[in-house]
Every structure is written in C-alpha cells, then in structure tokens.
Structure 1
Amino acid sequence: MEASININNGSSGYDRIKELKKFDDTKMGVKGLSDSGITSIPQFFIHPPETLSDLKATTDSSASSLSIPVIDLSHLNSPTHRPKLIHQVKEAAKTWGFFQVINHGVPISVIDDTVSAIKAFHNEPFEVKSKHYSRQEGRGVMYASNNDLYRTNSAQWIDSLQVWMGPEPPVVEDIPAACRKEVAAWDVYATGVAENLMELLSEGLGLEGGKFKELTFSEKKVLVAHCYPHCPQPDLTMGIQSHTDPAILTVLLQNHVSGLQVKHDNAWVDIKPLHGALVINIGDLLQIISNGVYNSVQHRVLANGSKEDRISVVMFFNVNKWKGDDGHFGPLPELLSPENPPIYRDFTMQEFLENFFGKGLDSKSLIQKVKI
C-alpha cells in the first residue's frame, strides 16, 4: 500500500495535525513506511535538537563499559541462597532500577516462540494487520503506531500490539491469530516471573513475601508487543523517547537487535540483549509505595538503524484494587516511622490515570507531582 505522507520537512505550509491524521488513517504504521522503501522520515517523527544531541553524546560515553546487573534465579527457593537473592534484587532495584534475570524458569523454546509469533504478526500483510488497528486505550486489544501519537510533540519509530490480560481477560478472538497462542502462554510465564520477583522485592523491604500479591500488584496487567523496524534516518528520531514506567513492575523480553538504554549516573547505558534473559525494571508506583527505597529510572529505545526489526514483548504489572474507600495509594504505612517519614503523598487512581493518558511519555512526572 502506498502512503501519501508529506515528507518535505522544509515545507513552510506544514500542517502537523493534518499529516499525523493522514499517517494514522493509512493504518500502515512505521513498519509500512519502512517496508515501502522511504529514504527520509516524515517531519512529525523528527525530534528536537536537545534530544538528538543527547543521542550523539551517547556514542562517546564511558558508560559503554557498564552493564545492568544480571541475577541468577536458579536457587530461588533454596533457604541457603534466598537471602543472597533478596539482597541482589534489592540492590539492583535501588541502584539501577533495572536488571536482567536468568534461569527464571521460562523455557528457551517459549521465549523463542513468543518473539517469533510477535514478529510474524508485525510482518503480516497490510490487509490482515490493519483490521486490528485501533486507538481504544486501556482495555481489550489495540494495534497502532505510537499509542500517544496525538499527545506528544514528536512521534516515535514504533508500532505496538497491546493486549490487556487482566483483571478481565481479553476476548480470545480479538487477539491476532498469528500470535494468539503465544500471547496467552507468555502471560502465564511472565506473571510467574513477576510474582517471584515481587516476593523478593517485598522481602527486601522487610515485609512478608506475599504482601505485594495481597495488594493485587500482579492482577492488572497489559502485554505490549513492540516492533521497531528499520529507520532510514535513525539519528533524527527515537524508538521510544526517554521515560519511566508508571506501573509497579515491568518484565521485558527482547530479541537480539539492540537499542534499549537505561540512564545511570547521568549517562546512557546500553542493555545488551542476552538470549534467554528477561529485563526487569521498577515502575513509578513501586518507587512511591516503597517510599523511595526502589528506584524507577529513565530509559529509552534508539531508532533502529539495523535492517532487521527489533522486537520486544513487555508485560506491565499494576495495582488492581486501590486501597481505601476513596481509592488512594501512597507509601506503605508499614515502611513509615518518625525516623522514616513519607516522602510522597497519597494520590488517587484518577490522578494516576489522568497523568498517564493526559500527555505523551515523559520522565517521572507522577513522582514529581506527589513528592512532598
């Protein structure tokens, strides 16, 4: 399918909203643009100089020798090894906000099948894939390019399939056939990994291992399957711009095409793909609930200059039942004392939702708003 998108970036009569809508109405996504063989990207994908200069600085950074912690979960239930695991997870969540886990119990075959199925969906013919194209956020199944397309200043070089897995399961027939079986299986495996890690994180705060599950931290969950296709001008745009995740915990599976970076000590560090490993990161809600013990950090994905698609499958875990009759959440009372007063105020689910859906992705805006 041909796209009639204006890519004359020097046009003085440029109407950004009109061009956004024209792109959106094609339902072809950036994968369609990439496959069409374009050599320059539409103007609304170009990011401001401050973002682009930051990208260039990354290549010369000494952070290139750093890497996030890798934690081996093979002795998860060993009374001898568990205290060490609790310490490792707590330290990684405090100092990096990101870590990779290996020997997590998910078979390599499941990992490979999941990536292959998501890649197969994003490679489907336009006539098949476009039937799922939608902008109905917050429930069900949605496939689109840039979930925040109309809320952000610069679009990003990414297409995503979004499937809400809980608390209400999706209508099975709404999940694309190319990845239906694999999405259902990945939900089970990723949730198992998340719940094991939530136990370790809970114990790291001195709480009972089951505390986070009791607080429904793994019940409200959404699977987001990203495709970052080849970008002809990767130095002018982003795969995903710098942001923090708003939820409790994120479990990410990625293929071998790199691009994910985390900010550590004011430098961008590459998260090198490790076959079979899962990337874990702390969300804003967990930073607030832990009263700042755990750290939700900025991360981003560079636009993909490789000829091969970057694929990532992300599971976001959120609070299902907000505490109290008025639906508030804040630092857990068990963690507070005169010596350790709250550093964040309580806030409502409505504030949380308005903060997320009222703008494009950004960095720690919720945490900044509720900080005392």
Structure 2
Amino acid sequence: MAAIDATSAYDRVKKVKEFDESKIGVKGLSDSGITSIPQFFVHDPETLSDLKSSSTHASTIPTIDLSHINSVTHRQELVEQIKVAAKTWGFFQVVNHGLPLSVLDETVNAVKAFHEQPHEVKAKYYKREEGKGFMYASNNDLYRTKAASWHDSLQVWMGLHRAEVEEIPEICRNEVVAWDFYATKVAESVMELLSEGLGLEAGKFKELTFSDSRVVVGHCYPYCPQPDRTVGITSHTDPGTVTVLLQNHVPGLQVRYENEWVNVKPVPGGLIINIGDLLQIISNGEYKSVQHRVLANSRKESRISIVMFLNQGKWNEDGYCGPLPELLSPEKPPVYRNFTVQEYIENFYSKGLDSKSLIEKITIRN
C-alpha cells in the first residue's frame, strides 16, 4: 500500500508547472548534474519497450545529389528519385544543394551558443506564445502531453508571421535570418521537383504558397542521465507541407520504415527533407508523411538540430483545403475530404505531438 500511496501523492501537474516556471529547461537540469530524471519525463512501458527494440535496419533514407538540378538531361532522373523517396520513405537527404558548408556550420554553432548561455540569460526569452515572434521553451506541448521529452527549443516565425529582427537574440540573430533565406531556397527547389513528380508545373507549389508560412525551430537535446526512461522527441509526423532539417554529428533521429525504426546517420553537408501531413493530403496520398522520433541523448555533447517547417500561407478563398483537383479523376477519386484551416490549427494545438491524427479524421472511408 505504501507504494500506491507514494504514487498517488505525486502531483504531476504541480511538478510540471514548477519546472516550467523555473525556466531552467532540460539543459539546466542536465547541467545541474542530476543522476535521475523527474518523473513527468518518464514515458509509458509501451514506448520504452519500443525503444529497446529499435531496428538495426541495414538501409537508411535515400540520399539525392542535387548538383545537376538545372541540367535538362538529368532533371527528369532527379524528379523520379525524389518522387520515389517521397512515396516510400517520406524522408530523404539532399547533398550538393548549393549552400556553403560555412552557412551550415554557422547556423548550428549559433543555435548551440544560444542554448549554452547561462540560465538567467536565456530565462528572459522563456515563454509559451506560439504562432508569432521569437520564443524559447522546453517542450512546446509540455501541458498537452502525457510525458515530457528531453529537449529545449527556440522558435522563430518567419514568412507571413515574421518575427521582428530585434526580437531574435543577438547571439543567433544573423545566422537564423540567413538560415531562413538559404533553407527556403533549398525547400523551393525540392518542391519544384516534387511538383513535377505529380505531373504538375514546377512552380505550382510556390503558386499555392506552400513556403510562405515558415517557422525555424532550434532544438537542443542535452545529455540525459537515463536515456532508457524517456525520449528526445516522441514519435510524430510533421503537420505542414515540407520540412528541412539541419543537424550536428550527434545521432538520435529515427524514421519508421516497413514497421521498423531506422537510424538516420548524419551526412556531413547534407540536409534532410521530409513530407508533412498537409502535402500527403494535397497529393491525395501520393506522397507520404512518415513517423519519426529522436532518442534521448546519452552522449555528453548536446545534439543540435535546426528544423524549418514550411506551411501553406494562403488557403483557398472558400477557406477549405484538400486534395488538388488536378490530381483527381474517376480512376483516382479523393482519398481525403476537404477541411478548414480552423480544423487544421485546432487539431495540432489540442494535444501533444502525434502521428497523422488529422489525416485519420479526414480520410474518406468507402
């Protein structure tokens, strides 16, 4: 009985609130030298047993060389490669994308420098006002999820909801603004290939404002003293159109493929691209958004990843979104119903990170 009483006496809501209001983040917990993690970071047995059965799958996500993207003779081959990757894996790495290695290094170093600042310096940026400007917090879904994950994040809105430059901390300001410019260029080049892969004009996705709403998120996964009891980020799919990921050399990212978790090895100079739920819907299921997660970091060095989430800026005049009419025919009827921007937003912010919950809601059942 004593054990039961001890468990029932644990006030999770209170402990989460205390952690949040301390503004210390998991980096602060890690730096303090703790040897066991707070209870609200501990995940359920099902999640933890799944971590232990992670795949040693020999294959990894496709790597696509973009050096001949403007070559008339090679472009169709590239379109085909990206189409196959987007239909099967939902993830691929691009190399020779045209961005200087110095830009990649400077971006990672600047985000790392922000997270390594003393607690009292970072604390003044700590808040939970998503959807605009700049914010720094631990777990954007801290109050919406059953178990917290071992990461902190900075978040900068660009594009339509762009943060004022002065809002971005000086330690990473120039690098984040530059990254928004460079990563958007790569994303739009890849979107052209994805558009052509569906038989559409190269500029169709840009015309549909698929890159107009953007947010740059800089994750820090510090050393975790009990990596077998929690995760870096829970398994989820991304909600938007396309995601661009830059990471340092510390591993941890896994992608779900053929019912197994596959480790993604960072390729020096490479960028990872993945398909979001919205693009799966708009492509009428041709392209796939795929579950992915990050394991808790057992290394002393922090894992740093910079993620750019791209999203549709302007929705149809009637306020609805769904499969593109051009992709539909009697032979290929819509797989999903149309839905409103309000449904889309509420679905994301009403719960913790999850996988394809919107897609499940709007799938047409025959």
Give TM-score, length-normalised by structure 1. 0.96
**Residues 149-189 of structure 1, C-alpha deviations (whole Å, 9 max, x = no match):** 00000000000000001113211111111100000000000
Q: Distance in 2 between matches of 1:62 and 1:337?
A: 41
Which of 354, 358, 370 matches 2:362? 370
Partner of residue 214, structure 1: 207
Give the SS at the match of 1:81.
Answer: helix
Partner of residue 17, structure 1: 13
Q: Distance in 1 between matches of 2:56 and 2:154?
A: 35
Which of 28, 35, 44 matches 1:32? 28
Range with bigger deviation, 31-40 or 163-172: 163-172
Which of 347, 352, 366 matches 1:355? 347
Give the SS at the match of 1:164.
Answer: strand
Partner of residue 4, structure 1: none
| Equivalenced residues, count | 360
**Which 4+ runs in 1 deviate beyond 6 A?**
none
**1:300 to partner: Cα distance:** 0.2
1:230 aligns with 2:208: no
**Residues 214-252 of structure 1, C-alpha deviations (whole Å, 9 max, x = no match):** 000010000000000000000000100000000000000
* CA 1:41–1:86: 2 relative to 1, 3 Å: same
**Residues 99-156 of structure 1, C-alpha deviations (whole Å, 9 max, x = no match):** 0000001100000000000000000011111110000011111100000000000000
> Does structure 1 retain, via aligned residues, the 8 Å contact 2:255–2:291?
yes
Q: Which amino acid aligns with 1:249?
A: V
**1:62 to partner: Cα distance:** 4.2
Percentage of identical aligned residues: 69
1:86 aligns with 2:79: yes
1:254 aligns with 2:247: yes
**Residues 269-303 of structure 1, C-alpha deviations (whole Å, 9 max, x = no match):** 01101111000000000000000000000000000
Unaligned 5+ residue runs, structure 1? 1-8
Partner of residue 256, structure 2: 263
Give the SS at the match of 1:222.
Answer: strand
Q: Distance in 2 between matches of 1:290 and 1:342?
A: 10
**1:11 to partner: Cα distance:** 4.6
1:41 aligns with 2:33: no
1:157 aligns with 2:153: no
Range with bigger deviation, 190-199 or 169-178: 169-178
Give the SS at the match of 2:161.
Answer: coil
Q: Distance in 1 between matches of 2:117 and 2:310?
A: 28
Give the SS at the match of 1:307.
Answer: coil
**1:10 to partner: Cα distance:** 5.7
Which of 285, 293, 303 matches 2:278? 285
Q: Distance in 1 between matches of 2:16 and 2:326?
A: 48
Q: Distance in 2 between matches of 1:259 and 1:67?
A: 13
Q: Distance in 2 between matches of 1:184 and 1:343?
A: 38
CA RMSD of superposed structures (Å): 1.0
Partner of residue 298, structure 1: 291
Q: Distance in 2 between matches of 1:172 and 1:166?
A: 12
Which of 42, 45, 52 matches 2:48? 52
Q: Which amino acid aligns with 1:224?
A: V
Q: Distance in 2 between matches of 1:52 and 1:70?
A: 30
Which of 60, 66, 81 matches 1:67? 60
Q: Distance in 2 between matches of 1:115 and 1:234?
A: 23
